[in-house]
Every structure is written in structure tokens, then in C-alpha cells.
């Protein structure tokens, strides 16, 4: 259960931070011609990946996809969308709502893995929670240390060669658009209720009937923490593109 709490806390933190930055810096970026151009240029690459992740996970969970907008510059502010519906009486499809909502984060994780294998992206070690007692303080401290490690690794890699710097720039660009939107966050909250109920039932059953309870809990904990680590890395990379977008607003103003 602690691993799940870490995972959910990281997801909420990452999405919340993106929304705060969007509110505080979004207007400034759009008002600057150069920043606006960079934003939409990156959106042409990142938005299709964002929407493709939604659509793919929707199909995996049996949802019916009606329409996909891969990229748009509409007045409603949406860069893209996936219209889909599902049978609300289906437990499997209802659980899928949560995973569909956070699918872009998983896409960001996939981008990092692919760049590590095929381009000059630095390899990031997994987030290992090596503490005697897992509580809010120890988990938060470990997460901060991991963030510092990731930032240090990225900076060292970017300074080592031009190829590494360009690869990290590409990763920042894509991961920026792999952070779920506010609408995605709302859907994740709705779907998380069903996910938590299912996990609680499985936990009780495994504990009551002694169905490898300790092994199952340890595996779930390690998986949740490792995925949380890659989500943090995705968020840190997205911060890099925020810096790129904000720089022109500091020097070129109307």
C-alpha cells in the first residue's frame, strides 16, 4: 500500500506542478512570438504521442474510440483529444479510465527508455527506496535525492557533447507534452476510486488466505516505486522545456 501511495503522490505532484506552471507562465509564453512558436512547434511532435497513448490504452481496456484529433490549434485551448466511451457496468473498462488518463506519463517513460537504447540519452538508475522505515519523511527525502541525482546526470550528459545535449533537448520537448492535462487529472481521480477498491480487495484476499501476501506486496511496492522514479524523470525533463520556453520572454518583449 505504501508503494501505491508513493505512486499516486508522484502522479498528483507532477500533474499539479504542470498546472501551476501553466497558470503562472502560460500567458507569458503565448504572448511572446518566439516562445509561442517554440511551444506549437514542440506540440506538433509531442501532442500526437500524448493522444496516441490515450487511444492505445483506451483500446486495451475495451473502450470504443470514436475520434482522435492528433493536433489542433483550436480556440478552446486543446491541442488534441480522444473521444471515447465505455460500458460503465464493466469493472475492467471502468478501471481503464484511470490508466487512460495517466497514459501520457507512461508514454514519457517509454520515450526515455527508447532514447536510452537508441540515442545518446544517459541511463538513469531505478528509484530504489532503501530505508528502514517507510514514512512521509523518509520517502520524501529519498525522492528529493533521486531528483537531484537525475538532474545531475542530465546536466553532466548535456555538457559532455553536442549530441547528448540535442538528445536531452528532444526528450525535454516530448516529455513536456507527456504530462496529463487537467481534464486527464479529473478522469484519473474518477478512475482511481475503482482502482483503489480493487487493490484493497486483492490485498484483503491475499492476506486472509495467505496467497503469497508478502511476495505480492514486495513486488507491487518495487514496481510502484520504480515507475514513480521514471515519472519523476519525465517531469524533470519537462521542466527543461519550460526553461527553453521562458528564456525568450526574458530578452524579447513587446
Q: Count the Cβ atoms, other than its own, within 10 Å of residue 195.
A: 18
Tens digit of each residue's pLDDT (9 = 90 or more) over 198-215: 777 877 777 777 766 667
pLDDT band at 1, cuts 50/70/90?
low
Tens digit of each residue's pLDDT (9 = 90 or more) over 125-169: 776 666 565 566 776 777 777 778 777 887 787 777 788 888 888
pLDDT of residue 74: 66
Backbone angles phi, psi at 179, to 5 degrees: -85, 125
Locate 89 and state its grid cell: 457496468
pLDDT of residue 213: 63
User: Within a domain: residue 9?
Assistant: yes
How far apart (Å, rounded) are the C-alpha atoms in residues 219 and 8?
Answer: 17
User: Within a domain: residue 202?
Assistant: yes
Q: Is the pLDDT of residue 73 over 80?
A: no
148 vs 103: which has the higher pLDDT: 103
User: Within a domain: residue 228?
Assistant: yes
User: Within a domain: residue 147?
Assistant: yes
User: Within a domain: residue 84?
Assistant: no
Residue 228 CA: distances (Å) to CA of 8, 46, 156, 164, 199 = 8, 21, 23, 24, 18
SS3 226: helix
As for how many domains the chain has, the answer is 1
Q: Is the pLDDT of residue 242 over 80?
A: yes
User: Within a domain: residue 41?
Assistant: no
User: Within a domain: residue 176?
Assistant: yes
Mean pLDDT of all residues in 214-231:
71
Domain of residue 7, residue span: 2-36+103-251
User: Within a domain: residue 42?
Assistant: no
Amino acid at each position: 500500500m505504501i508503494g501505491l501511495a508513493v505512486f499516486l503522490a508522484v502522479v498528483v505532484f507532477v500533474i499539479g506542478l504542470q498546472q501551476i506552471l501553466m497558470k503562472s507562465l502560460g500567458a507569458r509564453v503565448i504572448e511572446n512570438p518566439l516562445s509561442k512558436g517554440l511551444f506549437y512547434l514542440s506540440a506538433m511532435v509531442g501532442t500526437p504521442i500524448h493522444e496516441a497513448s490515450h487511444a492505445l490504452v483506451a483500446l486495451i481496456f475495451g473502450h470504443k474510440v470514436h475520434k482522435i484529433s492528433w493536433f489542433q490549434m483550436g480556440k478552446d485551448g486543446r491541442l488534441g483529444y480522444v473521444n471515447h466511451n465505455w460500458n460503465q457496468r464493466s469493472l475492467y473498462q471502468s478501471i481503464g479510465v484511470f490508466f487512460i488518463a495517466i497514459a501520457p506519463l507512461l508514454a514519457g517513460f517509454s520515450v526515455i527508455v527508447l532514447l536510452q537504447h537508441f540515442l545518446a540519452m544517459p541511463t538513469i538508475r531505478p528509484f530504489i527506496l532503501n530505508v528502514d522505515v517507510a514514512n512521509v519523511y523518509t520517502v520524501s527525502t529519498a525522492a528529493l535525492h533521486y531528483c537531484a541525482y537525475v538532474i545531475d546526470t542530465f546536466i553532466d550528459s548535456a555538457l559532455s557533447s553536442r549530441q547528448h545535449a540535442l538528445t536531452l533537448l528532444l526528450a525535454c520537448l516530448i516529455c513536456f507534452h507527456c504530462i496529463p492535462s487537467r481534464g486527464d487529472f479529473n478522469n484519473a481521480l474518477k478512475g482511481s476510486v475503482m482502482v483503489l477498491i480493487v487493490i484493497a480487495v486483492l490485498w484483503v484476499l491475499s492476506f486472509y488466505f495467505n496467497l503469497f501476501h508478502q511476495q505480492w506486496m514486495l513486488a507491487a511496492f518495487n514496481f510502484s516505486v520504480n515507475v514513480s522514479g521514471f515519472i519523476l524523470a519525465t517531469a524533470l525533463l519537462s521542466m527543461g522545456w519550460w526553461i527553453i520556453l521562458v528564456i525568450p520572454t526574458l530578452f524579447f518583449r513587446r
